[in-house]
Amino acid sequence: MLALLILLTVFIAKIEKHSLSSSKALITIHTDLVDIGAIIKEIQGAKVQLVTITAYHPPSRGINSDSDPNRTALMVKPKPGWTAVISRNMIKYGWIGKKIYAPNIGVWKIEGVMGKEVIGNQIDLCFPSHKKAMAFGVKRNIMMTAFD
């Protein structure tokens, strides 16, 4: 956490050149600490888990216990590129309704829960086509962060 906070300490530098002579220049650097209070608060509230990420296309195989591709198990209409569902094991982490992020995968929102047959920390992402879901494949050991 400390390393992450250090990385988020951002300075804005404004460099002004002042001509002293034709051969020299004085560079003045003004630094202002960016207000990172909101960022720190969000990081402190973030939850990180190592997960397996899979993909699905609702019309291809249904995603609810009653096989209704138009609703997640929480009765939310899935939105390709946004909706994610989690394994039941992850409910204890309080991720339902949270946004999630992983590098090179993007931001998604937890809007459903997988069937009880899915074991471990798994997240299923909603894709607009079966072809795109298959191309995404399975990503293992991904560090996923949940936030409000």
Q: Is 19 part of a structural domain of the chain?
A: yes
Its pTM stands at 0.68
Cα–Cα distance for residue pair 95/85, rounded to 1 Å: 10
Based on the domain organization, do 114 and 62 belong to the same domain? yes
Cα–Cα distance for residue pair 141/133, rounded to 1 Å: 18
Which tens digits make up the pLDDT trace of 22-41? Answer: 445 554 444 445 555 565 56
Q: Is 60 part of a structural domain of the chain?
A: yes
Structure tokens at 55: 């993909």
**Which of 16-20, 93-97, 106-110, 115-119 has the least mean pLDDT?**
16-20
Do 56 and 137 meet the contact criterion of CB atoms below 8 Å apart?
no
Based on the domain organization, do 60 and 117 belong to the same domain? yes
Q: Is 93 part of a structural domain of the chain?
A: yes
Cα–Cα distance for residue pair 34/54, rounded to 1 Å: 37
Structure tokens at 78: 């899935």
Q: Which residues contact 23 (CB under 8 A, 6 or more apart)?
A: none
Do 82 and 108 meet the contact criterion of CB atoms below 8 Å apart?
yes
Q: For the chain, list the strands marked E by DSSP.
A: 11-19, 25-33, 47-56, 83-86, 99-102, 106-113, 122-126, 139-147
Based on the domain organization, do 92 and 133 belong to the same domain? yes
Which 8-state DSSP code applies to residue 116?
A: T
Based on the domain organization, do 28 and 65 belong to the same domain? no
Which tens digits make up the pLDDT trace of 60-113? Answer: 865 555 567 788 888 889 999 999 999 999 999 999 999 999 999 999 999 999
Q: Is 1 part of a structural domain of the chain?
A: no
Based on the domain organization, do 31 and 80 belong to the same domain? no
Based on the domain organization, do 36 and 56 belong to the same domain? no
Based on the domain organization, do 73 and 140 belong to the same domain? yes
What is the percent of the chain where pLDDT is above 90?
A: 48
Based on the domain organization, do 23 and 96 belong to the same domain? no
Tally of domains in the chain: 2
Q: Is 56 part of a structural domain of the chain?
A: yes
Based on the domain organization, do 59 and 32 belong to the same domain? no
CATH of residue 98's domain is: 2.40.40.10
Based on the domain organization, do 67 and 86 belong to the same domain? yes
Based on the domain organization, do 86 and 28 belong to the same domain? no
- Domain residues for the domain of 83 are 47-147
3-state secondary structure of 79: coil
Q: Facing residues of 108 across strands?
A: 100
Based on the domain organization, do 59 and 29 belong to the same domain? no
Half-sphere exposure of 120 (CA within 13 A, CB side): 10
The pLDDT value given to residue 15 = 33
